[in-house]
Copies of this chain bind each other. A is one copy, B any other.
Amino acid sequence: MTDSFDRVDDLREEPRTDISMGHRMQRFVEALQLRITRRLEGLDPDGAFNVERWSHREGGGGITAVIEDGAVFEKGGVNTSAVRGELPARMAQAFEVEQQPFFATGLSLVIHPRSPHVPTVHANFRYFALGDDLMDPVDQWFGGGADLTPYYPHLEDAQHFHRVWKEVCDTHDDVADYDAFKTACDDYFYLQHRDEARGVGGIFYDYLRDDPEGTFFFSRAAGRRFLESYVPIVERRKDTPVTEAQRAYQEIRRGRYVEFNLVYDRGTKFGLETGGRTESILMSLPAHVQWRYDWAPAPDSPEAHAQWYFAARDWLQLTPDDVPPGTA
């Protein structure tokens, strides 16, 4: 999977004085969007991303790339945006700063496969700056991460996903810390009202501000490894036969995904509050969802075994002997 994009990206850029970090990050995420959408399209005989540009009412805009009704991917989006505006009062309060201009750019993706045997995945890589002058921001930081939400989980998949992210962090251990980022992911993607993790986690980081050059280098490396973290899992699971009952179970589990995004997710709230484009923000919601009252899996069923995975666990320390039957 090495191509010229990889090679360019493996090099640490010299610090630039001609364009801002915000601009460099924007260029990176737009190139990454193209790369990810092309590769995912290559996996889906019926799927093509529909690409649209949109404008923010204050300044900037984004590129929304949405796939719907594919053979492999039922619904998904790989979006980039680069937005300039005045920090909303509530966010200024949350950040404990004065109201002032902000710049935000990033890539955010959510992919909901059609088959319940293929996990849903989410990732984002973003940059935020405060102040009038992007060449010399008052404050700037990076955030991002990736997390995996299987319906019928396998240890093999969870370990593959985490191994890729651990390698990226270990390679950039001047700014990244897998253990801390993994714990932050478990803490963030947690449904308090269900006492349940969204899935098997991954990494999550925010407010990385100490070393912008080093963190940009890490962000690029992480973004570049996304396909490697996910595509082998899709290839391994996409042809497993599916029953109607498995599909219904998938729709119920997707309800938890909707609950997380609408009740807890900061990115969703930030987007809706700052007048972001609703359809781009809510493209993260799955196509078909069910809520049944007080649903619970049958004892000892594959669905009951799956439940064991929706908790914070040290996936890389586990062996096939540690997991419920049929889920290695």
Contact = CB atoms under 8 A, between A and B. Distances in A.
Interface of A: 50, 66, 68, 75, 77, 192-194, 251, 255, 258-259, 262-263, 272, 278-279, 281-283, 285-294
Nearest to A278: B193
Contact of A66 (B251, B258, B282, B293): B293
Nearest to A284: B291
A287 B292 contact: yes
A66 to B, nearest CB: 5
Contact of A272 (B77, B192, B288, B291): B192
A269 B286 CA distance: 22
Given A258-B262, A259-B262, A293 B283 contact: yes
Looking at A68, A251, A293, which has the most chain B CB atoms within 10 Å of its CB?
A293
A83 to B, nearest CB: 16
A272 B193 contact: yes
Nearest to A76: B293
B77 A293 contact: yes
A198 to B, nearest CB: 15
A282 B291 contact: yes
Contact of A285 (B255, B282, B286): B255
Contacts of A279: 293-294
B282 A272 contact: no
Number of copies: 2
A283 B293 CA distance: 6
A255 to B, nearest CB: 7
A286 B291 contact: yes
Nearest to A293: B66
A290 B293 contact: no
A287 B288 contact: no
A44 to B, nearest CB: 16
Nearest to A281: B193
A286 B258 CA distance: 13
17 contacts: A50-B293, A66-B294, A75-B293, A77-B293, A251-B288, A258-B258, A258-B262, A258-B289, A259-B262, A262-B262, A263-B263, A286-B291, A287-B290, A287-B292, A288-B288, A289-B289, A289-B291
B262 A272 contact: no
Q: Would you list the 9 A-B pairs with minimal beta carbon distance, nearest first?
A: A262-B262, A285-B291, A279-B294, A193-B278, A193-B272, A289-B289, A66-B293, A262-B263, A283-B293
A84 to B, nearest CB: 20
Contacts of A77: 293
Contacts of A290: 287-289
A255 B77 CA distance: 18
Contacts of A294: 66, 279
A51 B220 CA distance: 55
Nearest to A259: B262
A314 to B, nearest CB: 27
A120 to B, nearest CB: 14
A247 to B, nearest CB: 12
Contacts of A75: 291, 293
Nearest to A195: B278
Contacts of A262: 258-259, 262-263
